[in-house]
């Protein structure tokens, strides 16, 4: 299996500073994805019987939030930033998506076949699938944050412009999100170092923990973080 991927080092600055926010927020989102991938790999060999379907849902939700993130980037966020950063500034990030997204989609298709009873779960096969795209994805996640360094942002935006972009981003993000899957996964794949991510209103955070998490609670048990925000011990696959 791939060794657990290290989380991205958080960019310098303060989350509440609008010029620091884009890189810090992006890194926090990317760390959530890395947490999810590591959990998928760590649990893969140990899942059997009645735990297979909840685990498959966990894996599908991890991959869906990756897709959701990329859709927001490609349909809104990158264009909004390039109005000031310059056309094509984030083209390389878009192109990097193509190096691993098709492989992720293949993994999703396989997991959906298991979910629908058309294929049999196999931990080794899941790890092979993860290995087909995870290295390229992790490279991309690191590289993308570098493009949003605060010096570039501060040189080309004012605070009001950045706040307007972020407000629109959150509206787009919450418009088509599945409250019963995407929100719980953001908690159980969170990073204890950044408890403020995702930057949801407090009532929605409480609703996630005490209501939206209940429908698929068995699936969220595979997350590396508990509902209290503290890390959980993950199983160690055999070498």
Asked whether the predicted pLDDT for residue 210 surpasses 80, the reply is yes
Asked whether the predicted pLDDT for residue 2 surpasses 80, the reply is no
In a domain, 160, yes or no: yes
SS3 label, residue 9: coil
The answer to whether 177 and 186 are in contact (CB under 8 A) is no
Asked whether the predicted pLDDT for residue 229 surpasses 60, the reply is yes
The answer to whether 80 and 157 are in contact (CB under 8 A) is no
**In this predicted structure, what is the pLDDT of residue 3?**
61
In a domain, 69, yes or no: yes
Asked whether the predicted pLDDT for residue 30 surpasses 90, the reply is yes
- % pLDDT > 70, the chain: 97
**In this predicted structure, what is the pLDDT of residue 221?**
96
Give me the mean pLDDT over the 107-125 stretch: 97
Asked whether the predicted pLDDT for residue 1 surpasses 70, the reply is no
Structural domain range at position 167 = 21-177
Write out pLDDT tens, residues 70-83.
Answer: 999 999 999 999 99
Asked whether the predicted pLDDT for residue 32 surpasses 90, the reply is yes
In a domain, 166, yes or no: yes
Kindly report the length of the chain: 239
In a domain, 206, yes or no: no
Q: Which burial class, exposed, middle or buried, applies to 28 when counting CB atoms under 10 A from its CB (0-12, 13-18, 19+)? A: buried
Residue bearing tokens 């170092």: 193
Residue bearing tokens 């049999």: 120
In a domain, 131, yes or no: yes
**In this predicted structure, what is the pLDDT of residue 183?**
93
**In this predicted structure, what is the pLDDT of residue 236?**
62
Average pLDDT value over all residues in the chain: 92
The answer to whether 80 and 168 are in contact (CB under 8 A) is yes
Question: Residue 136 CB: number of other CB atoms within 10 A?
Answer: 17
In a domain, 137, yes or no: yes
The answer to whether 144 and 93 are in contact (CB under 8 A) is yes
Q: Which of 54, 65, 56 is nearest to 176 (CA)?
A: 65
Domains: count for the chain? 1
Ranking 2-16, 78-92, 136-150 by mean pLDDT, the lowest is: 2-16
In a domain, 236, yes or no: no
Write out pLDDT tens, residues 139-194.
Answer: 999 999 998 989 999 999 999 999 999 999 989 988 878 999 999 999 999 999 99
Tell me, what DSSP letter sits at residue 7? P
In a domain, 231, yes or no: no
């Amino acid at each position: 299996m791939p060794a657990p991927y290290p989380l991205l080092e958080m960019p310098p600055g303060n989350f509440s500073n609008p010029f620091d926010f884009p890189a810090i927020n992006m890194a926090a989102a990317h760390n959530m994805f890395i947490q999810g991938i590591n959990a998928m790999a760590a649990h893969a060999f140990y899942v059997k019987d009645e735990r297979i379907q909840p685990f498959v849902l966990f894996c599908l939700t991890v991959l869906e939030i990756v897709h959701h993130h990329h859709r927001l980037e490609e349909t809104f966020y990158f264009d909004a930033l390039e109005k000031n950063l310059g056309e094509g500034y984030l083209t390389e990030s878009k192109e990097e998506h193509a190096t691993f997204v098709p492989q992720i989609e293949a993994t999703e298709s396989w997991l959906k076949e298991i979910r629908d009873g058309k294929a049999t779960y196999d931990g080794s096969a899941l790890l092979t699938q993860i290995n087909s795209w995870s290295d390229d994805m992790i490279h991309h996640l690191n590289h993308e944050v570098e493009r949003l360094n605060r010096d570039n942002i501060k040189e080309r935006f004012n605070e009001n412009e950045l706040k307007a972009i972020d407000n629109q981003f959150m509206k787009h993000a919450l418009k088509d999100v599945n409250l019963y899957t995407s929100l719980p996964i953001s908690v159980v794949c969170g990073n204890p170092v950044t408890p403020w991510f995702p930057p949801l209103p407090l009532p929605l955070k409480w609703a996630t923990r005490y209501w939206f998490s209940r429908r698929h609670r068995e699936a969220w048990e595979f997350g590396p973080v508990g509902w209290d925000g503290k890390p959980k011990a993950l199983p160690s696959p055999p070498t």
